[in-house]
Amino acid sequence: MPSDFTEEEIARYARHILLEEVGGTGQARLREASVLIAGAGGLGSPLALYLAAAGIGTIGIADNDTVELSNLQRQIAHTTARLGASKTSSAAAAAAALNPLVRIVQHHIRITAENAPALLAPYDIVCDGTDNFATRYALADAAWRAGKTLVSAAILRFEGQLSTFRPGRNTAGAANPCYRCLHAAPPPAGLVPSCAQAGVLGTVTGVMGTLQATEALKEVLGIGESLAGRLLTWDALTMRFRLIRLPADPDCPFCGPHAGPGGAAPESEPEALDAGMSKRPTPASQDDDRTTP
């Protein structure tokens, strides 16, 4: 148990500290960690609440919207009383009410390719809960270039998907994929409907945001099996979860060996969470298992 834990911290985090995989050391890691939540909506709500509850020391919340009535069917960090407030201030209020020991930093901005690098620079891990492709690619590219782990979730109608993009190699020595290995480029505008157009069951955002928060905590703690190199999909109607192997694409124009000068070798060395993990993405043509879906 870190000797500087207060009585309040020991009591508040007692159920974590009981876990052999977390303990006082892990709880101290959570307190030292900083996580950026991009999007304070359906995914960002459970992210903000659970990461605050877990004692993540610094939580950034980035969004440029205000709370609207149609948000409250699923965005449970917000309240009817806070209609019209900025989503960052509303989510920050919810998180601070749950755990006043954590520091919440509000970024009331629209995330772009230009401002993403500076936005995520102070954070260890980025959680993408945004709802548009421009922002997703801006975050994914900036996170990869900075060597930071990105935990990315997406939802639509009754379905969700989740993966982790961590520059470097997995414990088996294979290069981890980047976001563009999965989706090389944004789809043409209008091809993929948004939740505003196609709808979403409110609980789907809660389940996926909670799974995303779980993966972020695992990445901070360095426990369990990362979703790096794997894609989780969930269909609420059939209640089927699927885990799909997601190998790095050797021809990826962003992280592959043929990436151009704008390419994506991380500018700084990511902290290796796996013992023995190589810290720099390199081609993995020796991986003969990459045809597995």
Least distance to Zn ion from the beta carbon of 262, Å? Answer: 13
Q: Which of 255, 266, 281, 284 binds Zn ion (CB under 5 A)?
A: 255
Least distance to Zn ion from the beta carbon of 219, Å? Answer: 19
By beta carbon distance, the residue nearest Zn ion is 252
Identify which of residues 157 and 279 has a Cβ nearer to Zn ion in the complex. 279
Least distance to Zn ion from the beta carbon of 134, Å? Answer: 18
Stretch that binds Zn ion, among 64-72, 133-141, 188-196, 245-253 (CB under 5 A): 245-253
The answer to whether 37 and 92 are in contact (CB under 8 A) is no
Identify which of residues 85 and 182 has a Cβ nearer to Zn ion in the complex. 182
Stretch that binds Zn ion, among 99-107, 133-141, 233-241, 249-257 (CB under 5 A): 249-257
Judged by CB under 5 A, the number of residues near Zn ion is 6
Find the distance separating the first CA and the last CA of the chain, reported in whole Å: 43
Least distance to Zn ion from the beta carbon of 141, Å? Answer: 10
Identify which of residues 33 and 181 has a Cβ nearer to Zn ion in the complex. 181
In sequence order, the β-bridge partners of residue 105 are 60
Applying the rule CB under 5 A, the residues between 151 and 180 that interact with Zn ion are 178, 180
| Residue of 219, 267, 253, 261 whose CA lies nearest to 117 | 267
Identify which of residues 52 and 143 has a Cβ nearer to Zn ion in the complex. 143
Is residue 143 at the binding interface for Zn ion, with CB under 5 A as the rule?
Answer: no
Identify which of residues 219 and 249 has a Cβ nearer to Zn ion in the complex. 249
Is residue 125 at the binding interface for Zn ion, with CB under 5 A as the rule?
Answer: no
Strands 58-62 and 103-107: parallel
Q: Which two tokens stand for residue 34?
A: 């900083």
Q: Collect all residues with Cβ–Cβ distance below 8 Å to 149 and sequence separation of at least 6.
A: 124, 125, 126, 143, 164, 165, 166, 167, 219, 228, 270
Identify which of residues 16 and 180 has a Cβ nearer to Zn ion in the complex. 180
Is residue 181 at the binding interface for Zn ion, with CB under 5 A as the rule?
Answer: yes
Least distance to Zn ion from the beta carbon of 255, Å? Answer: 3
Least distance to Zn ion from the beta carbon of 165, Å? Answer: 9
Least distance to Zn ion from the beta carbon of 249, Å? Answer: 5
Is residue 252 at the binding interface for Zn ion, with CB under 5 A as the rule?
Answer: yes
Q: Which two tokens stand for residue 216?
A: 């972020």
Contact positions toward Zn ion, by CB under 5 A?
Answer: 178, 180-181, 252, 254-255
